[in-house]
Amino acid sequence: MGEVMGAGRLARRVVKVAAAGVLHYSGMRKAMAAYRRSQSGGRRILIVSYHRVVEDLTGEMQRSIPGLLISQETLRRHLEEAAAAGYEFASIGDAVGVMTGRRVAKRDLCVVTFDDGYRDVYRYAYPLLRRMGVPAIIYLPTDFIGTNRRFNHDRLFHLVLRAGQRGFRPYFSALPGPALELLGPVFSGKKPLSAALDDFIGEHPAGVLLELIEALEQELGGGPDLLPEQGELMSWDEVRRMARDGFEFGAHTLGHTVLTLEPPEVVTREIVESKLAIEREVQIQVRDFAYCNGWYSDEIIAVLKANGFRSGVTTEDLPNRIGGDPFTLKRKVLWENFSIGVLGEYSAALTGCQLDDCFGVLGMSRPVPGRRTHSSAAVAASRLLGRSEGFGPKGEPT
């Protein structure tokens, strides 16, 4: 159940590190950057995505989802590497302006984004960004801000870890039906917990996740240790403090909800009310949105457009192109592992090749498409409940 690197992943890591060294030190990396620039319409627009920035990486790796973590020191190095690669740090609005042709950039642009509003972004990223003069946007799931709640993904990760530590092997018949999809691959050793959890969340709506959380807590006997200490969220005062210093905030639904798995009326509510909550609490205009899980659809984009948004960011690791759709902005999701060499050391060559998308040019990366159709089960449930409203402007039913 541990997050140990398998032989296949280790082999891929060795190949990437070796390739990065050749590309970086031979000068081929610059040629690939020039190719990407030309292919993108004359300017590269790199949007990078982070989640949690931590001080004690070793400790957090033992208790948190690894793919959400980056150390403060590695983040600093990422920003320095981006500047050295010729990127100018820009706001999401500047990037959209260049993509849509409303402004011209003299240099390639890099936009720094953070999803979820974790408090350690306020504690460790905010001072660093301010000191370095780097703008950023943070996307907030507003129902969690200013509360002691934890996200469903953090709660499930913690509960399954607790089950393993206690030697607990659940009786699947006592748990909700979908439990086997998550726990089976983990307890059998077929998948690391983080990979199994990512797959599970991508297939099941929020109601199913909550049902499984409650069932696991009951099976484990309850108690305060079943709520993870880590993963706390910002307060609204902390959000306002960052906003006063020029940092931007975007909407990320109310409850960190994968919208393509939800019926239309839920989609509209999650988008509109999250926007209104930030505008009410922070007194700023919210025009930018991040799709949870990176998944989006034409229907979701229609709601964004109808309610005054100017952009939507995905997690598709692909180049942005001048003239592209600002509601399907591509992002490179980064965490600590993207910069680590075979022996566990930080690799400037590997980081630089990641930022310049060398592996994408070579066909060594496997981007996951974010465009989805809405779950037929969600739409059917909506109709059965007599709530088959469409996606009208300002959230009005059609």
Q: Average pLDDT over the chain, rounded to whole?
A: 90
Cβ-contact 249, 282 below 8 angstroms: yes
For residue 55 the two structure tokens come to: 């001080």
In this structure, which amino acid lies at residue 267? V
Locus of tokens 């948004």: 309
pLDDT tens-digit readout, 375-390: 655 554 444 444 333 3
Count of helices and strands (H, E) across the chain: 17, 10
> Looking at the domain assignment, is residue 215 inside a domain?
yes
For residue 46 the two structure tokens come to: 């790199």
Locus of tokens 């975007």: 250
> Looking at the domain assignment, is residue 182 inside a domain?
yes
pLDDT tens-digit readout, 257-285: 999 999 999 999 999 999 999 999 999 99
Domain range for 225 is: 152-229
Q: How far is CA 231 from CA 100, 297, 318, 380, in A?
A: 36, 29, 29, 34
Q: Is 82 left (phi over 0), alpha (psi -120 to 50) or beta?
A: alpha
Distance between the two ends of the chain, CA-based, in angstroms? Answer: 48
> Looking at the domain assignment, is residue 43 inside a domain?
no
In this structure, which amino acid lies at residue 180? L
Cβ-contact 297, 371 below 8 angstroms: yes
Q: Can you give the pTM of this predicted structure?
A: 0.92
> Looking at the domain assignment, is residue 117 inside a domain?
no
> Looking at the domain assignment, is residue 206 inside a domain?
yes
Cα–Cα distance for residue pair 118/373, rounded to 1 Å? 29
> Looking at the domain assignment, is residue 218 inside a domain?
yes
Locus of tokens 């959380």: 213
Residue 188 pLDDT grade (very low, low, confident, very high; cuts 50, 70, 90): confident
User: How many domains, in total, are found in the chain?
Assistant: 1
Q: How far is CA 77 from CA 301, 317, 350, in A?
A: 35, 20, 12
pLDDT tens-digit readout, 111-123: 999 999 999 999 9
In this structure, which amino acid lies at residue 367? P
Q: Of 13, 93, 16, 78, nearest to 48 (Cα)?
A: 78
Cα–Cα distance for residue pair 211/194, rounded to 1 Å? 19
> Looking at the domain assignment, is residue 299 inside a domain?
no
pLDDT the model gives residue 294: 96
pLDDT tens-digit readout, 215-269: 999 988 888 889 999 999 999 999 999 999 999 999 999 999 999 999 999 999 9
> Looking at the domain assignment, is residue 319 inside a domain?
no
SS3 content of the chain, % helix, strand, coil (to 5): 50, 10, 40
